[in-house]
Amino acid sequence: QKEVEQNSGPLSVPEGAIASLNCTYSDRGSQSFFWYRQYSGKSPELIMSIYSNGDKEDGRFTAQLNKASQYVSLLIRDSQPSDSATYLCAVNLDRGSTLGRLYFGRGTQLTVWP
Amino acid sequence: KAGVTQTPRYLIKTRGQQVTLSCSPISGHRSVSWYQQTPGQGLQFLFEYFSETQRNKGNFPGRFSGRQFSNSRSEMNVSTLELGDSALYLCASSSTTGGNEQFFGPGTRLTVL
């Protein structure tokens, strides 16, 4: 059973704080990992992709990948009210494929209060 | 560069009808995937097309079908609509280079009455 699991939340943090979102996945051979942000009533927007163990930083966002632990996380520094959204973790669980389906977690709803 | 476009944006149908949804990928992208999003099931994969060929199919009944044209535009069709087909249908396009980053269109909101 191929699965992607996220901490269900909701997660609520004050403005300026660090928000930490976590995701685990079932297949050790997975190669591609993504974080999407989805505002209410909108479609998912790709905000981070990561393929190698370690950290990847893009502005206020840092993705962390640990393939041995089958764990990927997203840190949002200096959280802003505009970051309030549902964050979806997506993994390509089809071993060896460079194309193909993404398996999504159920999402973590983040609220940043002023 | 223009993003993924989907038409129509909203649809209301009745049970038993059929519906066709359209997706135009980002220019130069040759892979198109379709997903269904519902509050109860989240985002679920329907199928993926590349070079007019279905490469991957999710666990949906045969009422759900799709195709891709030579210009990479894609359509999906749902026949004999059921109430449970009410959902947001999302199309995502990706390039064949790189790591399968998929970019979503705005979606088609289908309501089945």
Tell which residue, B2, B5, B21, has the closest CA to residue B92. Answer: B5
A109 near B CB under 8 A: no
pLDDT at residue A96, as a whole number: 56
B104 near A CB under 8 A: yes
pLDDT at residue B100, as a whole number: 79
* Cβ contacts from A onto B, under 8 A: 63
| A residues 31-60 lying closer than 8 A (beta carbon) to B | 31-32, 34, 36, 42-46, 49, 51
B95 near A CB under 8 A: no
pLDDT, averaged across chain A:
92
Q: How far is the alpha carbon of B90 from chain A, nearest alpha carbon, in Å?
A: 7
The residue in chain B having the minimum alpha-carbon distance to the alpha carbon of residue A97 is B100
Tell which residue, A62, A82, A112, A89, has the closest CA to residue A3. Answer: A89
Average pLDDT over residues B98-108: 89
Say if residues A64 and A55 touch (Cβ distance below 8 Å). yes
Tens digits of residue pLDDT in A46-101: 999 999 999 999 999 999 999 999 999 999 999 999 999 999 999 987 765 556 78
Average pLDDT over residues B12-25: 98
**Cβ pair B102:A106 closer than 8 A:** no
pLDDT at residue A2, as a whole number: 80
With pLDDT > 90 as the criterion, what percentage of chain B qualifies? 88
pLDDT at residue A1, as a whole number: 77
pLDDT at residue A44, as a whole number: 98
- Tell me how far apart the alpha carbons of residues A23 and A7 are, in angstroms, rounded to a whole number: 7
Task: Give the long-range contacts of residues B46-54, CB within 8 A, separation 24 or more.
Answer: B46/B76, B46/B89, B47/B76, B48/A99, B48/A100, B48/A101, B49/B74, B50/A99, B50/B96
Tens digits of residue pLDDT in B33-82: 999 999 989 999 999 999 999 988 999 999 999 999 999 999 999 999 99
Average pLDDT over residues B13-21: 98
**Cβ pair B88:A88 closer than 8 A:** no
pLDDT at residue A98, as a whole number: 53
A104 contacts in B (CB within 8 Å)? Answer: 35, 42-44
